[in-house]
Structure 1
Amino acid sequence: MRIAQILYNKAHWIFEADEKPEFAPDIVLVDITSKNNIQEGWDYNSKTGKFTAPSISEPTPIEPQIDEIQAKILVNTETLISMKEMEV
């Protein structure tokens, strides 16, 4: 028997056992013996009892931004370097 533990509507742990174990009542176990393609991390719909592969979208690239504190540090550093070069 192939079993999936469901956690937060996802197949969290998939394991094999001779029979469905008795765990705490809040642990959800689903028999997936006839569904060999299901993998850990797949989404689970408790209303329909169906699993679907998760859809992971590509992250949007973000331009690095210098915040106000970093900008002030940069200006102060450049000022100190300039003063050192001018021997002030």
Structure 2
Amino acid sequence: MKRFAQILYEQAHWIFEADEKPEFAPDIVLVDITGRNDIQEGWDYNRETGEFTAPIVPEPTPIEPQPTVEEMQAQTLLNTEYLVSRSELGLGGN
């Protein structure tokens, strides 16, 4: 039994076993990967070298925590007090 990988968008899209390479539409690319059991679906494929490599998954960008409702209310209160104080001092609302 042979092992094949369908290549789609320069990646191993589908890996399957068959006795012989099946005949599909001419635009479907199949690569014989018999004996290369480490290759997995989703791996990158280099057409020039015929090599497969595990995809490099970038580190996720840390997400800054959102303020709580209480924190937003406190900030609004501080901003309001600041503007009232400026107005009372005759400095305007700028």
Identity of aligned residues (%): 78
Match of 2:57 in 1: 56
d(CA) in 2 for partners of 1:41, 1:7: 10
Structure 1 regions of 5+ residues with no counterpart?
A: 67-74, 76-88
CA RMSD in angstroms, aligned pairs only: 1.7
TM-score w.r.t. the length of structure 1 is: 0.70
Cα displacement string for residues 32-52 of structure 1 (whole angstroms, at most 9, x for unaligned residues): 002111000000000100000
Structure 1 moving runs of 4+ over 3 Å: none
d(CA) in 2 for partners of 1:33, 1:60: 38
TM-score w.r.t. the length of structure 2 is: 0.66
Structure 2 regions of 5+ residues with no counterpart?
A: 68-75, 77-94
Match of 1:39 in 2: 40
Which letter does structure 2 place at the counterpart of 1:38?
A: I
